[in-house]
Amino acid sequence: MLKSKLPRTTTTYDTDTLMLRIWKNLARDFRTSEGHDYAVRAEHLLDTSVKDYRDFRWPARSQAPIHLFKREYQLEHLFKRYKFAHDKFSEEDLLVIANEKFVATQLRIAQPLPDTSLLFLVLQKARKLCHSILGDFSNDELVPLCRFGKRATVGNPKRVSYLDLKLAGPITGSRDQIRWFQQILADPRNSQLLDALIECHKGKALPFVESENLSLTNVPKSYKSLRSIMPNTLIGSFRSYGLGKMIERRLRATNLDIRHLQKRHG
The DSSP element (H or E) to which 26 belongs, if any, is: helix 15-34
The H helix count followed by the E strand count for the chain is 12, 4
What pLDDT is recorded for position 189? 94
What pLDDT is recorded for position 1? 47
What pLDDT is recorded for position 5? 61
Q: How many CB atoms lie within 10 A of CB 173?
A: 28
> In this structure, what are the phi and psi dihedrals at residue 217, rounded to the nearest 5 degrees?
-130, 140
What pLDDT is recorded for position 252? 93
Q: What are the C-alpha distances in Å from 130 to residues 123, 125, 153, 156, 200?
A: 10, 9, 30, 35, 40
Q: How many CB atoms lie within 10 A of CB 181?
A: 24
Would you give per-residue pLDDT tens digits along the chain (266 residues)? 455 565 666 777 889 999 999 999 999 999 999 999 999 999 999 999 999 999 999 988 888 899 999 999 999 999 999 999 999 999 999 999 999 999 999 999 999 888 899 999 999 999 999 999 999 999 999 999 999 988 889 988 888 888 888 899 999 999 999 999 999 999 999 999 999 999 999 989 999 999 989 999 898 999 999 999 999 999 999 999 999 999 999 999 999 988 888 887 77
Alpha helices in 135-254 (DSSP H): 139-142, 163-167, 175-186, 191-200, 234-253
